[in-house]
Structure 1
């Protein structure tokens, strides 16, 4: 019975996803569907949180727009004034093409287009705040429950959270960093649950899910930079010695600092790898799900028989990829945390000790 409910739930989610894709392209029956453009629009950030469309009727949550113009100063208004990008407001509009496509631009009296300072609360930013608040409520609630009886074994959701905390703390952070691992445990646990929560919300196609937070390179860039700063600001003297004066032949360090340059480049490639790995995997997962869903609408013009066959295949493969995405949501959070812990551990190395004195004959070793 439970398996049937799970399958029904997945099919319902898929139906809602398909309905959203179909509704967002009202002319799909009369013109060719541009799959590439449609996927890009769904992955991109926006100034409103779209929920559903029915023909020309759109239901969306408007978000606050905060702009600063060099000519007219600060502006604060609702994104509903743009009417889905088809209108302008106070000389501001959402560009439909060009290098500022999808962004708010300002047109002056001479017709020149410029980009104002934009600190608006977009869909991804709102989802990020929502996920952070949800995570705080969950962790604080579980922590309060644990304080009531710390020795009592937990089941259900609190037990799952406890299992995840212990698996990251004892299975990842402690063996990767070493003796002072407790100093970095709060940050690494926060990173893991933050990424995991946003990954799960991104899989859900309906409000308040569906935002591409961890598939946004700006978010992964900030996370990677934080890890980079922690690694290099808390590194030991031995860590910096191995960077600027590594234990290699002198001719590799003087007169041309070949090995120090290689080591410095290595410190920069580590956060770059963190950023790209998380960004690319999550964006690719969303793209695959959207592409499989759109097979239903792409094959409409090929006849009912072929379209029905492709619809069944689309449902099967999309449900399968959604299940895989659940696993990837955990794996990517785990890998980011693991690599961050390894990089921190490499920066906490102690001076190397060598036994230079050999035991003399007849003397105990």
Structure 2
């Protein structure tokens, strides 16, 4: 994936440089009309409006509410339509999708942006879907599931048996609500981000950071004395090495959620960039012969992203369960011996 991104960036660079010496004034004007970098960044970034698509000169956009507070000016509430195309309204304007005040005053932006609207929409979808699933269980009890219930039950059972039970152990039930919420929240938003006009919510590092922080807090508040004993008195490590090991173990506590945050953010964002880059090649070369090739590769990456959508949800949930399992695990003498009194190996103890 990294090599593919690097190759595409080089291709964009070479294409731009090759066209400069021979471009006429009209060609230069036409080339300046399409900026692939700006198009891609606009798609993967947040904004104060939700642009769905364009047909010729017509743009189909939903303008979202702008809510801002400035000291000495109070609260400003209006539609983002007032700020479209670089306009200024009530002393406010948008600079690279950041709300700024003309007089330089500090602006506290509480607007309903594209990502916030997508978050609300996905939460509503999750509530509707799983309310229907819950009604199905309440109505049919232990009978064979039907409809939407029959689709989600195998996935829920998989998360319970293959993720929660195996990673956390006997105490898994109390963490199932969070694990299921994380799994379906990430999966649904990954899929919604692949829809035309969809927001790149799980490709927003603020969202992935929030999920990682929640995982960290649950892990720390669920931890027992054995978890902290392993950090401050690592079994089997000579006491002389503890001054080195303790900082390493403490750093590891925060590196784990950091890796969760970056992994989800990077994988989802990279998929969007690669797909859009292939599509942008059509407009860069301005040759219809390029279209079938770039569209084929773009569709391949798109269908690959459908797999990545559920895979990233699974990985995030699995690692979360593993971190929680390490925090609630009870001490076993056999963990630090070649075998227990009954001949059990460390793997068999678990």
TM class by shorter-chain length?
0.7 to 0.9
2:58 corresponds to 1:57: yes
Give 1:308 deviation, angstroms: 2.1
2:201 corresponds to 1:213: yes
CA displacement 1:2-34 (0-9 Å, x = unmatched): xxxxxxxxxxxxxxxxxxxxxxxxx99822432
Partner of 1:233: 221
1:325/1:156 CA distance change after superposition, 3 Å:
farther
SS at match of 2:262: helix
Equivalent-residue separation in structure 2 for 1:228 and 1:180 (angstroms): 18
Partner of 2:36: 35
Equivalent-residue separation in structure 2 for 1:93 and 1:277 (angstroms): 34
Unaligned runs of 5+ in 2: 1-26, 343-350
Match of 1:317 among 297, 303, 309: 297
CA displacement 1:114-150 (0-9 Å, x = unmatched): 4400111100010011001101110110110122113
Partner of 1:196: 187
Equivalent-residue separation in structure 2 for 1:140 and 1:279 (angstroms): 29
Partner of 1:137: 128
2:276 corresponds to 1:290: yes
SS at match of 1:49: strand
Partner of 1:94: 94
2:84 corresponds to 1:83: yes
Equivalent-residue separation in structure 2 for 1:184 and 1:332 (angstroms): 19
Give 1:159 deviation, angstroms: 1.5
TM-score (norm 1): 0.81
Kindly report which structure 2 residues correspond to 1:265-284, keeping only aligned pairs within 5 A, or say none: 265-284=251-270
Give 1:352 deviation, angstroms: 2.7
Equivalent-residue separation in structure 2 for 1:130 and 1:290 (angstroms): 24
Partner of 2:347: none
Count, aligned residues: 311
CA RMSD of aligned residues (A): 2.1
2:240 corresponds to 1:251: yes
Give 1:193 deviation, angstroms: 0.3
CA contact (8 A) 1:65 1:121 kept: yes
Match of 1:168 among 138, 159, 163: 159
Give 1:156 deviation, angstroms: 5.1
TM-score (norm 2): 0.84
Partner of 2:107: 116
SS at match of 2:315: helix
1:337/1:357 CA distance change after superposition, 3 Å:
closer
SS at match of 1:152: coil
Larger displacement relative to structure 2 (318-327 or 172-181): 318-327
CA contact (8 A) 1:123 1:211 kept: yes
Partner of 1:4: none
Equivalent-residue separation in structure 2 for 1:54 and 1:76 (angstroms): 30
CA contact (8 A) 2:67 2:110 kept: yes
